Structure 1
Amino acid sequence: MQDGFLLLYKRLNVGGFSWPRTKEEALEVTPEQYHRLMQGLEIVAKRPIAELTEPPKTM
């Protein structure tokens, strides 16, 4: 792997980027997640789907 510099620029038509305010809010992304972000997809669900639980059994 060689050292280098990469500058990416992405323009939004509407809205803005949600930039992390603290170090704890920053995420480390995998190459696959990076590619998804560049395609405009979300890598973190805004409203995660709740897990289904077993309904209580009646006697």
Structure 2
Amino acid sequence: MIDLTKVEHIYLVTGYTDMRKQIDGLTSIISVNYQKLDLRINRIFIFCSRDRTKIKILEVDQTGVWVYYKRTHGEKFIWPKDDKVILVEERQLKWLLDGLSPIQKRAHKTRYYDY
């Protein structure tokens, strides 16, 4: 599993990505389409397939680039369709990997009770 203690930024690359792309293809998506984001150390970029059953996580560390791959058994990831990059937190990444929406303001609705 990814060591999130060293990760500074986690980026969700929304829209759909061709999962046949490997390290070079995924890094070129970042360097060509999102020129403001550079591939610096301790950053993670998350990509999703069109059918939303597969994700790839690109991690840049001190010695190189890692690619992590997760495929579900038919369940779909909840994935934004926009073509942009969203900065997410560690807990939102865990929500995504558990099958929840990574883009939500809070897990429970705020309720106010008068006793």
The TM-score, its normalising length taken from structure 1, stands at: 0.42
Per residue, is there more strand in 1 or in 2? 2
**Rg larger for:** 1
Query: Taking CA–CA contacts closer than 8 Å with sequence separation of 6 or more, which of the two structures ends up with the larger relative contact order?
Result: 2
